[in-house]
Structures are given as structure tokens and as C-alpha cells.
Amino acid sequence: MDRKKRSFSRGKARRQRIKAVVLLAVILLASLAAYFSIRSLDRSAAPEDGLTKDDPYTRLAQEPFTFRTSAPDPPELTLAGYAYKSVAPELPGIGPESVRYPQQSVLDPSWASVRIAAPGHEPDDYYAVFLQRAGKEWRAEKSVLIEDQEFPKDVKTLLGGIPQDLVTPLFPPEKPEKKSGDPTERAVQVMERATGEDDWRVAETEDAGPYHKVSVERKDNEDSRTNVYLSGDGDDLAVVGIGEKLTSVEAPGFPPGLAKPAVMAAPDSVRVTPPDPVYDGGVDRERVEPGMAEARRVIEGYSGTAGFYALDLKSGAGYGVRPDEPFFSASTIKLPVMVAVYRRIDEGKLAYSDVFQTTEEDWAAGAGWLRWDTPGATTTVEDSLWLMITQSDNVATNALVRKVGGPEYVNEVARSLGARDTMLYEKLSSERAAIPSLDNRTTPRDMALMLREITSKNAASDFACEEMLGLIRQNNLEFWMEAGVPEGMPVANKAGWLDATYNDVGFVEYKDRPYILATFTKYGEKKMEQGAQPLQNVSKAVWLAQSGKSVEQYEREQKQKLKEKLEKQRREARERQQQDQKDTPSGRP
């Protein structure tokens, strides 16, 4: 019995020692897990990385491996990130490296700008994108292409309301200036030129090799302090950006001590409607299909993005490729402006004979006569309508927009005509923005619907619609749609073009099956000969869809009909002559 007790006691002691060892192991493992969890949640840069204890940051590359129960929070966007996210989904051919020279205004810190490389242009060309702060975010509000600056006024006229210190750096100085190779002197030079004030001084300078952050402020206003980021030295010294606090996204290559590390948020890929055929309203597919196949081939083969929509005025059916893709409207936006003017005339709020003067607000570059005679040129509503449609005069257009009540009224008119995605965003000019959503815009379907309302006399009074069609018929500036239909076929159209953008919307008065066609392109060829070719080819394909015959076949048939008509006339003339000879008595002349 004693032997059994001693054996039990030894077993019990052994079990207690094992439990103790297991408990110690569990505690040790728990401690190690807690230790490494804390380390992984708070991994700060070492002092030698250029950061202080007051400025820790999380290294994305060292993020601990964990099982996520939900999607991670997106990275906090920077100024450049907001600009890139705004533009990249619509502008093909750019990447994060395309964003450069961020600048936050010191005259109005709620505004900022960045420069985005312009694909397909010269290396020094870029889009200036202007952003305005909305709460904690930045929102792109305006954009313009900066290329050959032979006429700076052409661009500056679109930048009303933008702080001057964001506008001035876009253009070369009126007088040559010698740029200092010293970072502090150069920073002061930059701020003085941007703001037009010479009361700037250096407050602080931080350098790390060829990278420099120079804090500058007005001599009598410490609240005006901002930072100028420069890279290089001597003749190679270049301004990288200006702002209260730029990150490594805005100032690539700058060490963490000068620019806080950050990441560029990746936007969605460029959103372009697939080139699938669209049929609406009981289209006669058997008749239309050969032309649609040819039009689709043209659209898919274009170097940029193209789309069209056709409306059969006899059946009411419609068909196209990318009919709802947003495009720069260019001068086709003048159609809803024209309707807005005629509605005001119908209401008695305007008259053809009303005389008015153009203003500085109306001035813009582009086609037409009034750009050379403004501000203060005297014109009438009737003359301005003629200039707007037949000469595509932008100044006349902007003046008429002002007379009818502004862009808001024109957009209201467009909506009433069935155009859901058309907007007069800013005044008409020969310049364009980086993307349609920051410019005057429309879709092929919208334009076709608006012209249909004019031809069916639903856009305004019967008299007004007849007058509008008369104006469109007088427009002989563009020939793209006419080039795709048989010679002599009546076409009433309004076209427009900007940089690498060509559009045409018109009414083909084919007596057997009249139709409306709207064809649009963007980001294509810069040279008009190549860039506008798809408009002619789509016009030819849609003619085939409508008539069931190729242009060549139709013209052969017309020539044959004309030949038969002439032969019939000659035959009838001979028969009349023979009859006259029989009826004439013998011997009389």
C-alpha cells in the first residue's frame, strides 16, 4: 500500500512539472505573439531614414500578413492622386508617372493644379488640370491643353476664376529672365513671378543631396508660407512642385525627410464602351446589316475612339456603335444653342433685329470674324445666328449663350430635346480639355435626337424649325458627311473639330429613306486628313445601310436613269420633228 502511494505521489509530481512546463511555453508563445503583433502594427522608419519620432509612417512593404475579413481601406489620396484618379479613367495612354508639377495656390489655397503628359503630342506638351478643395478631397474642375503658346490669350480666356499664381507659370515670361542656380534664390524667383509680387523671402531650407525644400513666405505675412520643391543644382536646377506639404507622389525621388512617403491610388482602367452594334425600335436588320458591318469595321480600325448613331426618319428606328459614349462636342454644341435662341424668339424675349455688343467675356479663339473685332463689336441676333452656324463663330456663340440666359438655359433646352448626356460646360473656344467630363460634351445619340426634334418641328415653332434647317443647309464649312453619300444628295449638317477630335451631325435628305447621322471621334489622329477620314467612311457605310445600295451602285443606277431619260427626251424630240414634217404641206418652208 505504501509502495502504491509513493508511486502515485511520484506520478503526480511528474504531471505537475509537465503542466508547469506547458504553462510556461504557452505564456512565452503568447508574449512573443503580442510582441510581434505590436511591432507589426507600429513599424516606424528608423532615424537614419530621415524621419523623426513625430512623423512615423507605416511601411506598406512591411505590412504584416493577416487574414482580412474585409477589403482594406484605400490609401489616402494626395493632390496628384486626386488629379490622376479624375483623368486616368477617360484619358488613354497615361500612367502615374504622367503627373508632374503639382502646385497649391498661395493666393487661394482651395485651388491647386497639376500637369499631365499629353499622349500623342510633343514631349513638352501637357494638360493643365485645376482642382478645387471640397472638404478633405480635391475635385478636378477645369483642364486645358498647353502646347504651342504663340497666342497665350487663346488659353487664358478659358481660365477665368483660376488663381493667377496657377495660371502665370503655364506661359513663358513676357521678358527673358535669368534663372538662378541657387535653390533659395530660385524659389523666391518662382514665387515672385507666379504671384506678381516681389515681397517674398526664404524662411527655411532643407537639403538632401540634389533635392531641396525651400520654405518661403511674404515678408509681412508668415501665414503665406509655402514650400518650393527643387531638384538638381546649377543650370540643371528644376522646380518640381509648390505646396504646403508634398509627398513622394508629387515629388518623386525626394527622400522621406523632405517629402512624406505615399502611394498613388490606382484608378479604374480607361472606360470605353465596347464597339458592339446597337439596334433600337425595330430596325430592318436584313437591310441594315451590310452597312452596319462596314461601319463597325471603320470604328474598330480607328486609332482613337469613334462612335456613331443613325436615325431612320421614316421608320423611327435607330442603330449605331458606341451611341452613348461621351465625346467632346466641339462646335456641334451650337445646335442646342441655336434652339435656345429660337425658343427665346418664340417667347418674345429676343428678336432678330435686337442689337447688342460683344464683351470680353464673349471673346474666344477659333473660327469666325468676331474674334478679330471684339470686345465691343456691334451685332444683331440674326447676324450672330448666321455667323454661329454657317461660319462656326465662337464669339457669336458665346454672346448668344449670354443673351439667352447662360449655359444653364442651354442645358435645360438640351434635356427637353431628349439629350441626357449633353452639357455646355464652358464657353466655346478652339482649345479643349484633357477629357470630355471637363469640357463641353455630348454623345452621338444625344446629337441625333436633338437634330430629329428640329427636322420634325418639335424643337420650337414650325417657323423657327424651318429657319434652323435653313441655316444648317447654308453651312458649307465641312464636307465629311457629304463625301460619304452620292454626289448631289442634299445634306444639312453641323460639324466641329478640336485637337485630335472630329465630329459631324447632319440630316441626309434622301427621299426614299431620309435619315440623321451623328459621328464622333476623340484621341485620334492630329492631322485632319487622317483624323476625319472615319467620318466620311461611316457616312458611306450608313448610306449603304439606309439605301441598301453602295454609293457606287446608286450612282451607276442614277447615271443609267439619267441616260435613259436623255435618250427618251431625244427620241421624243425626233418623233415630234418627224410629226411636224408630216404635218407641214409640201413646198412650204
Interval 515-572: pLDDT, tens = 999 999 999 999 988 999 999 999 999 999 999 988 888 888 777 877 888 888 888 8
Q: What is the pLDDT of residues 498-514, one digit of tens each?
A: 999 999 999 999 999 99
Mean pLDDT is lowest, of 203-207, 264-268, 569-573, for: 264-268
* Cell numbers standing for residue 187: 524659389
State yes or no: pLDDT of 25 exceeds 90: no
Q: β-strand 441-442 against 238-243: which pairing, if any?
A: unpaired
Q: What is the pLDDT of residues 451-492, one digit of tens each?
A: 999 999 999 999 999 999 999 999 887 789 999 999 999 999
Mean pLDDT is lowest, of 1-15, 111-125, 179-193, 263-277, for: 1-15
* Cell numbers standing for residue 180: 538662378
pTM of the model: 0.82
What's CA 157's distance to the chain center, in Å? 18
**DSSP characters over 517-583:** EEEEEES--SSHHHHTHHHHHHHHHHHHHHHSS-HHHHHHHHHHHHHHHHHHHHHHHHHHHHHHHHH
In what order do the strands lie in the sheet containing 238-243? 137-146, 126-134, 111-117, 99-104, 238-243, 221-231, 211-218, 200-208
Q: What is the pLDDT of residues 145-154, one digit of tens each?
A: 999 777 888 9
Rg (CA), the chain: 35
In the block, residue with C-alpha cell 487622317: 530
Residue 203 class from Cβ within 10 Å (0-12 exposed, 13-18 middle, 19+ buried)? middle
In the block, residue with C-alpha cell 503583433: 37
pLDDT band at 375 (very low <50, low <70, confident <90, very high): confident
The span from the first CA to the last CA of the chain, in angstroms, equals 169
State yes or no: pLDDT of 249 exceeds 70: yes
Sequence-distant (6+) residues with CB within 8 A of 319 are: 277, 278, 279, 280, 283, 288, 292, 309, 310, 545
- Using alpha carbons, select from 403, 392, 328, 404 the residue that is nearest to residue 364: 392
- Distance in angstroms (rounded) separating the CA atoms of residues 102 and 114: 4
| Residue pair 308/517 in contact by the 8 Å Cβ criterion | yes
Q: What is the pLDDT of residues 294-339, one digit of tens each?
A: 999 999 999 999 999 999 999 999 999 999 999 999 999 999 999 9
pLDDT band at 245 (very low <50, low <70, confident <90, very high): confident
In the block, residue with C-alpha cell 508511486: 7
Q: What is the pLDDT of residues 64-92, one digit of tens each?
A: 333 333 444 445 678 999 999 999 999 99
Domain residue spans of the chain: 33-63, 79-243, 277-549, 550-589
Which class is 277-549 in CATH? Answer: alpha beta
| Mean model confidence pLDDT for the chain | 86
- Using alpha carbons, select from 318, 329, 310 the residue that is nearest to residue 503: 329
State whether residue 139 is helix, strand or coil.
strand
